[in-house]
Amino acid sequence: MTFRILADDAIAVTPELTAIAETLRRVPGSTIQRDDLQGADVLLVRSITQVTEQLLTGSQVTHVGSATAGFDHVDRDYLQQRGIGFSCAPGANANAVVEYVLSVLAARRRLGHVLEGGGIGILGYGHVGRHLAALVTGLGGAVRCWDPWQQVPESIRGESLQQVLCQPVLSLHASLHNEAPWPSCGIIDRESAQACFQGQLVINAARGPLITAEAIDILDEKGVEMVLDVWPEEPRITTQQFAKVALGTPHIAGYSLTAKQTATNMLVASITGKPPATCTQQGAAIDMRGCDTDSASEWLTRLLLANYDPGRDHRLLAACVADTMAPETFEALRTDYPLRRELRGLPVEVDGELPERLQRLCKVLGARPEYTGGG
């Protein structure tokens, strides 16, 4: 069975998607209007498209798929009332986001803290938070996680939100919602920002409104080091706001080729009822030959940044931020983003057999050392 598909042009086109498409039209997600849906029975979007009654009224769409983990941009109640199927891609970009966070830790010289058993607070224990907790624990860090909506293992469960907020590194991975009694929207607000402290590193690679604009000002005043991939009023970013972050990127934490392809194939699977096809990553080996292996943190920092350096994306975004970044400029950065490779599954060239500790760290990250000489 084939379908007439309208898709955001930033969604990856895989062989599996092509195979079910009678027709496949691709348009920018920010411009999708009701008229674009004429003749389509499947709509595939990202978070930039608001899927509402206004958009779908009068269309023949029978299924909406969002190539995202979150779905706050979709009126699912309306879809259910109309009998329109819905699917999303939870977990598709989890490893990409986690590797982004680890690369941020490398760029901000915090990996030593993790490897030496330092504390990391994680807000949210969904696909990304769970994967980050596992990798940080595997690397030797001490995780404290807060998510009252999930069953967090006792070994890493924070005693309170306050305890998690007070960790030297805080990474946000909660879904965005206003559901009582524990809404996540604005979870880092004026009050909770007061719990943060000078020298702390706060990373938001989830949803922009988890941190309020007022909280960003307070965190800056307190000397907190901030890394934002998402923004309170995205796609608008002011020069003043950008100046307060140590690293800022244009909502691309999950933008790996593998994540994009996996998301597409998960949507195809939901439409066809078949298991999703596996995406295999291809790529040249990361050359770590000649690198000093005496310091685990320095070696791991070099490995992570060799694969992905968030400083590059920070500089690209900085060049675009004027008084207020135009929404179309922000979206262009994302649409034209050169999808990066994930470290997981990539070969790593080394001179000889790595020390046991580095072998273990590679195993945790899923990298594959390839010995090119005697050691």
251 part of the active site: yes
pLDDT tens string, the chain, 375 residues long: the values are 899 999 999 999 999 999 999 999 999 998 999 999 999 999 999 988 999 999 999 999 999 999 998 888 999 999 999 999 999 999 999 999 999 999 999 999 999 999 999 999 999 999 999 999 999 999 999 999 999 999 999 999 999 999 999 999 999 999 999 999 999 999 999 999 999 999 999 999 999 999 999 999 999 999 999 999 999 999 899 999 999 999 999 999 999 999 999 999 999 999 999 999 888 777 789 999 999 999 999 999 999 999 999 999 999 999 999 888 888 899 889 988 999 999 999 999 999 999 999 999 999 999 999 987 654
What is the distance between the terminal CA atoms of the chain, rounded to a whole angstrom?
56
What was the pLDDT predicted at 375? Answer: 44
Tokens of residue 57, six digits: 């009224």
CA–CA dist 12, 297 (Å, integer): 35
Sheet bearing 347-350, strands edge to edge: 286-287, 347-350, 368-371
131 part of the active site: no
234 part of the active site: yes
What was the pLDDT predicted at 335? Answer: 85
Among 251, 314, 334, 340, which one carries the catalytic annotation? 251
Full-model pTM? 0.93
Among 16, 99, 225, 234, which one carries the catalytic annotation? 234
What was the pLDDT predicted at 328? Answer: 87
- H/E segment holding residue 136: helix 127-139
What was the pLDDT predicted at 373? Answer: 65
User: Structural domains in the chain?
Assistant: 3-88 (3.40.50.720), 95-248 (3.40.50.720), 286-371 (3.30.1370.170)
Among 144, 173, 207, 340, which one carries the catalytic annotation? 207
> Could you give the dihedral angle defined by the CA atoms of residues 183, 189, 193 and 199, in that order, rounded to the nearest 10 degrees?
90
